[in-house]
């Protein structure tokens, strides 16, 4: 019995190490751009294997790399527009292919308009849930290319009292 318990503990340790090394990582929010979904300081586990067989879908919370000078940083935003779709923000609503989409997760409607754009192949139009305080596809981040996507935010792990599957 004692050997079986140790065997299980060792297997769990190895599986956890494998998942962190090859299957996921931790990302921490450092701004208010995703409020009310996440606050500054919240941490999520990112599933690095999520998009190995298919691309992101609308509504997914993706982790992606952005470069500021020589620094590569991880950012998390919500996928709004898919490759080949048109995206537009007007009068506080987001339109995909000319039709408004329902968004129950935004902090408040956007106070700006954003002219219609077509999402390029292998790219995504992303927005923060705090539309009026987010650097996203409407700003310097622009479209997020598939090759820069690190994975999908799957589990909020910090703070512990807010633990949840996304």
Q: 2, 31, 33, 91: which one is catalytic? A: 33
Query: Which residues touch 126 (CB under 8 Å, ≥6 apart)?
Result: 62, 64, 77, 78, 79, 80, 136, 137, 141, 144
pLDDT tens column, 109-127? 889 999 999 999 999 999 9
- Predicted confidence (pLDDT) at residue 16 exceeds the cutoff of 60: no
- Helix, strand, or coil (residue 22): helix
CB 50 within 8 A of CB 151: yes
pTM over 0.85: no
pLDDT tens column, 58-96? 999 999 998 877 777 889 999 999 999 999 999 999 999
Q: Mean pLDDT over residues 97-113, rounded?
A: 93
- Predicted confidence (pLDDT) at residue 14 exceeds the cutoff of 60: no
Tell me what percent of the residues of the chain surpass a pLDDT of 90: 56
pLDDT at 55: 93
* Average of per-residue pLDDT values in the chain: 86
CB 87 within 8 A of CB 95: yes
- Cα(37)–Cα(114) distance, integer angstroms: 23
Q: What confidence tier does 10 reach under pLDDT thresholds 50, 70, 90?
A: low
**Catalytic site includes residue 33:** yes
Beta bridge partners of 90: 93
- Which position has the higher pLDDT, 72 or 128? 128
CB 44 within 8 A of CB 57: no
Q: Mean pLDDT over residues 159-165, rounded?
A: 78
pLDDT at 6: 65
- Domains of the chain with CATH codes: 26-165 (2.10.109.10)
Q: 3, 40, 48, 77: which one is catalytic? A: 77
């Amino acid at each position: 019995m004692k050997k079986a318990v140790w065997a299980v503990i060792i297997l769990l340790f190895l599986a956890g190490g494998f998942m962190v090394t090859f299957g996921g990582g931790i990302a921490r929010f450092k701004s208010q751009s995703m409020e009310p979904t996440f606050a500054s300081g919240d941490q999520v586990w990112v599933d690095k294997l999520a998009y190995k067989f298919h691309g992101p879908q609308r509504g997914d919370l993706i982790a992606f790399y952005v470069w500021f000078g020589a620094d590569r940083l991880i950012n998390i935003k919500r996928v709004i527009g898919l490759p080949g779709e048109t995206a537009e923000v007007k009068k506080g609503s987001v339109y995909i292919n000319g039709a408004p989409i329902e968004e129950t997760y935004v902090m408040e409607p956007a106070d700006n308009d954003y002219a219609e754009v077509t999402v390029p192949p292998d790219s995504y139009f992303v927005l923060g849930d705090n539309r009026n305080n987010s650097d996203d596809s409407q700003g310097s981040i622009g479209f997020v290319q598939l090759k820069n996507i690190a994975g999908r935010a799957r589990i909020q792990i910090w703070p512990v009292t807010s633990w949840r599957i996304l």
